[in-house]
Amino acid sequence: MLIQHPCASLLQPRKLKLTSCNFSGETSFSASALPFSLITFPSSGSGWKPRISSIVARASGFQKSQKEIKEDDEDKGNGDFSSPSNFRGREGEKDYDRDPEFAEILGGCFDDPEKAQARVEERIRKKRSKILHTKTGSSIPMKVTFNKFDFSNSYIWFEFYNTPLPNDVSLICDTIRSWHIVGRLGGCNSMNMQLSQSPLDKRPSYDAVQGANVTPTTFYNIGNFEIQDTLGRFWIDIGTREGLLLDILINALTQISSDYVGIKQVVFGGSEFENWKENLTSEDAGYSVHKI
């Protein structure tokens, strides 16, 4: 095998000087006349043999005996090609492959892709509370509609842009609970709004006798807050037709949707709502109940 010397001139190659020739097929040249460097290989009797890296052998499916593997390990200790980290990755890196459930899902993705996809979606739904992602409000105004709303017996429906996180659910439940407490104590009585209806340029005054003689309004009852993925609802029995109660709730939910968790729409009334399933009561399927 001949390899061209990097310093050899390409413009004026030397002429080869034949020194000897015989009929046995062997030809010798003068080393000083060659523009190439000769590479010599050990003779067959020197005991030299090519070695195959264990990495290449594994990559090509080459089966090696225990003796050859031991020889390769000894060669690595003598300065042959090796990696100090043994290709184990960066220090401190977690081994995410040791997950039997995920390995089983990946193992069956070729046999039944649709079943594997369904299992991945189910896994995400079960562990959605542990998934960390930024949750902010929506710049789109919350839509408010009324569908055969009855003050004495109605559902209030929610539709979120994304499945609410535990902190979002806690905030909404606290808001509804506060709204119910204020309403139950008669704090949302539009018949007694002396200060809000008084002129702003005069000193505020309050007539206690007039406030005591106003017909009271009481928030009778309220149900728990139910969630199915991006949908939510709770039942109310206000009893009296008091629009101020609804205004206060809408104002609070509008601020929550803008600053904290995006609410696509709120619907007052109606026994059914889009994809809500009455028979879905399993937490694994995305259903949850939160006490008000």
Tens of pLDDT, residue by residue, the chain (292 residues): 455 555 544 445 454 444 444 444 444 444 444 444 444 445 555 555 555 444 444 444 444 455 555 555 555 555 444 444 444 445 444 554 566 777 777 777 777 888 888 888 887 777 766 665 555 689 899 999 999 999 999 999 999 999 999 999 999 999 999 999 999 999 999 999 999 888 888 899 999 999 999 988 889 999 999 999 999 999 999 988 899 999 999 999 999 999 999 999 999 999 889 889 988 888 888 899 999 9
Question: Do 143 and 254 form a contact (C-beta atoms < 8 A)?
Answer: no
DSSP reduced 3-state for 264: strand
Q: Which domain holds residue 121?
A: 100-126
Question: Are 111 and 250 within one domain?
Answer: no
Within a domain: residue 160?
Answer: yes
- Judgement on whether residues 35 and 168 belong to the same structural domain of the protein: no
pLDDT at 69: 56
Same domain membership, residue 283 and residue 233 = yes
Do the domain assignments include residue 135?
no
Q: Which amino acid is at 194?
A: Q
Are 158 and 276 found together in one domain?
Answer: yes
In this structure, the answer to whether residues 159 and 227 fall within a common structural domain is yes
Residue 131 lies in a domain: no
Q: Is 56 in contact with 38 (CB distance < 8 Å)?
A: no
Question: Is position 252 within any domain?
Answer: yes
Q: Cβ distance 253 to 173 under 8 Å?
A: no
Has residue 269 been placed in a domain?
A: yes
C-alpha dihedral over 126, 129, 133, 136, to 10 degrees? 120
Name the DSSP class of 139: S
In-domain check, residue 199: no
Number of domains in the chain: 4
What pLDDT is stored for residue 124 in this prediction? 77
Same domain, 151 and 71: no
Work out whether strand 263-268 and strand 143-146 pair parallel, antiparallel, or are unpaired. parallel
Categorise residue 125: left if φ over 0, alpha if ψ from -120 to 50, beta otherwise. alpha
Q: What angle, 0 to 180 degrees and rounded to 10, lies between the N-to-C axes of helices 166-184 and 243-259?
A: 160
pLDDT of residue 21: 45
Q: What is the CATH number of the domain that holds 218?
A: 3.30.70
69, 159: one domain = no
Same domain, 181 and 154: yes
- Residue 90 within a domain: no
Whether 167 and 280 map to the same domain: the answer is yes
Using DSSP bridges, classify how beta strands 263-268 and 221-222 pair: parallel, antiparallel or unpaired.
unpaired
As beta bridge partners, residue 290 has 225
Residue with tokens 């190659």: 13
- Pair (119, 61) in one structural domain: no
Q: Are residues 232 and 263 in the same domain?
A: yes
For residues 250 and 181, state if they share a domain. Answer: yes
